[in-house]
Structure 1
Amino acid sequence: MKKELATALNTYLANMGVMYIKLHNLHWNVVGSDFKQVHEYLETLYDAMAGVLDEVAELLKMQGEQPLASLKDYLAAASIQELPSAELRSREVLRIVQADLTLLRDQAQQIRADAAADDVYAVVSMMEDHLAQYNKTLWFVEAMQK
C-alpha cells in the first residue's frame, strides 16, 4: 500500500473517530418535538460507526500500516469538527449529521478511486460497502428533514 493511501485511510479513520464522539454528543443533546425518533436514530448511527472504525483500523494493520488510535491523533488529522456540549434542535442535528456523512462519503469515494488505481482491492471492496451505506443513511437523514 502506498503511503498516500495509508495516510488517506488514517484521515478517514480520524474523521470516523471524531464523528463517533460527535454522534454521542448530538444523541445526548438533541431536543425538539421529534426528540425520541432522532435520539434513537443517532444511537443506531454511532453503534454502526463503532464497527466501521474497527474495520478500517484492522485493514490498516493487515496492510502493515499503523492506524491512528488516540483522540489527540484523531483531532489533529480529522476535517470533521467537534461540537461543544449544548442542546440543539433536531433539525440542526440532522443538518450537521448530513454534512458530516456527506464528507465521509466523499472521502470514501476518493479512497476507493485511489485504491483501484493502485490495485488494492481489499480497500476498494471496503469502500464500496461504505459508500452503499452512506448513500442509504444520507437518504434517511434527508427524508427526516422534510
Structure 2
Amino acid sequence: MKIDIGISQEQRQAIAKGLSRVLADEYTLYLKTHNFHWNVTGPMFNTLHLMFEGQYTESATAVDQIAERIRALGYPAPGSYKQYAELSQIEEEPGVPEWKDMVVQLVGGHETVARTAREVFQQAEQADDEATADLLTQRMQLHEKTAWMLRSLLE
C-alpha cells in the first residue's frame, strides 16, 4: 500500500537510510555499554556499574524507537550484527579494558551517535519530517549530556 504522509518516497528512503546508521551506532553503543557494565572493575566499580546499567537500559528503549521510525517511513530496519557492523562508526571492544579506558570509549561512542544523529537531522528538517527531527533531537541531547557526564569522571 502506498505511503502518503507528506514526505516523498525519495526523502523517506534517504531518511530511513540515515536512521539505519543511527540505529547501528546506538545498538553498537548499547552492546559496548552492556559489556562494560558486566566487566568493570576497580575503585569506580559501583558508580560505573550502576551508571552503565542506566545507559544501556536507555539505549535499549532508543533502538526500538529508531527502528519503529524506520518502519513508519516504509523501510525495513536493520537487525543483524553484520548489518550493524557495516553501518556503525563505533568500534567494538574485543577485550576488557580498565575502567578509565571504558569511560573514554563510551565518551567517543556517545559523541559518535550525536554526530550521526545531527547529520540525519538535516535531512529530516529539509523534508519537514518533524517526527524524525524530534526523535533525533532527543537522541542528540541525551548523548551529548551522557558524554559530558562521562568526561567529568576523568577530570
TM-score in terms of structure 1 length: 0.93
TM superposition shift of 1:5: 1.8
Unaligned runs of 5+ in 1: none
Aligned residues between the structures: 145
Structure of greater Rg: 2
Q: Which runs of 4+ in 1 moved over 3 A?
A: none
1:29 is aligned to 2:36: no
* Partner deviation per Cα, 1:13-50 (whole Å, 9 max, x = no partner): 11111111111111122222111111111111000000
1:78 equivalent to 2:78? Answer no
Q: Which residue of 2 aligns with 1:94?
A: 103
Find the residue that maps to 2:84 and give its secondary structure: helix
Out of 122, 126, 140, the residue aligned to residue 131 of structure 1 is: 140
Contact 2:12 2:74 in 1 (8 A): no
Report the Cα offset of residue 99 of structure 1: 0.5
1:115 and 1:94 mapped to 2: Cα distance?
A: 31
- Structure 2 residue runs of 5 or longer lacking an equivalent are 1-10
**Which amino acid is 1:21 matched to?**
L
1:60 aligns to 2:70 (yes or no): yes
Distance in 2 (CA, whole Å) between partners of 1:116 and 1:78 is 22
Q: Distance in 2 between matches of 1:48 and 1:12?
A: 15
Q: Output the amino acid matched with 1:23.
A: T
RMSD over aligned CA atoms reads: 1.2
Which residue identity lines up with residue 26 of structure 2 in the other structure? M
Q: Partners in 1 of 2:138 and 2:26 — Cα distance? A: 15
